[in-house]
Structure 1
């Protein structure tokens, strides 16, 4: 009987402690959540940005909406799609990159292109992947996701690849595919 009273007393004591320990001031909770949600962001629509070096146009970026987040690690997000056109020194289009989504991490000089990424180059080759990373410092693209490359009647597949900015040179890892060689290309 004494043990039962001790157990009931202990349970009652713990219950009272928990009841008073779990009290929240709703105003404080709202203030904290409002502070976390306030991120300075600039929104631009119908954006066209020209990248140039020494007055020579290198690339043009086109996006319907650009969100510029001004955080500790600033980044730009293009969640309604993006097209980047690269130009050769003669101002002719050398390659074109399209994606449904892109994010540029400003401090790292990295652009991540995601979902339905399609690249075309001057040779008429088409590169497709679900993700493509553009390293602006190294001036190259790479992907660690599956990629397909179509040219003429040939289709190559790979588990990853890298390419220079105009996609005139690329390397594929673990490539497979259907190649049709003409007499000039044969062994």
Structure 2
């Protein structure tokens, strides 16, 4: 008794074509610059570059980003996420799954999804967010923040929070 296996040549060619459209790398460090200044450094365990248009980089095993000030000497904020996608044509970065942003003031953003527009140097999210400061925790849905996370706005705040200075209310 014998058994055999017959493969469809067209199926094999399609599989090879899909695999040929992806480059894989591990132990990744990427330096981002804008106007001849280094603005960020990304570190990831692994990366896949998808070569079919629109081309993008995908980080499926986590990533860490240090965002620098103008002198490259000080880390202004850090970003961690379990997954990320960098779009080559637009420089937009989409982060999801346990996204954490920390700034040098000790404030921390936790969310499930965050978009980073590197050209505008801005974070945007439509998801639920939690911001922890040394003295308070603020929750809500939706966020806009600058790249170093020193200025942020929760679009739809929820729950109790403390206003520290009545002069800010107008």
TM-score with structure 1 setting the length: 0.77
Q: Kindly indicate whether residue 51 of structure 2 is the aligned counterpart of residue 70 of structure 1.
A: yes
**In structure 1, which of residues 84, 107, 113 is the aligned counterpart of residue 65 of structure 2?**
84
Q: Does 1:141 align with 2:139?
A: no
Residue 23 (structure 2) aligns with: 42
Q: 1:29 to 1:53 in 2, by over 3 A?
A: closer
Change (3 A) 1:35 1:55: closer
Larger radius of gyration: 1
- CA deviation vs aligned residue, 1:23-67 (integer Å, no higher than 9, x gap): xx9635534643663442221111111223455321110001011
Q: Is the 8 A contact 1:154 1:177 kept in 2?
A: no
Deviations 1:137-176 (A, max 9, x none): 2221100000000101211111101111111111111102
Root mean square deviation of aligned Cα = 2.2
| TM-score normalised according to structure 2 size | 0.84
4+ long deviations beyond 6 Å: none
Unaligned runs of 5+ in 1: 1-24
1:56 aligns with 2:37: yes
Change (3 A) 1:35 1:156: same
The count of aligned residue pairs is: 161
Q: Give 1 or 2: higher helix fraction.
A: 1
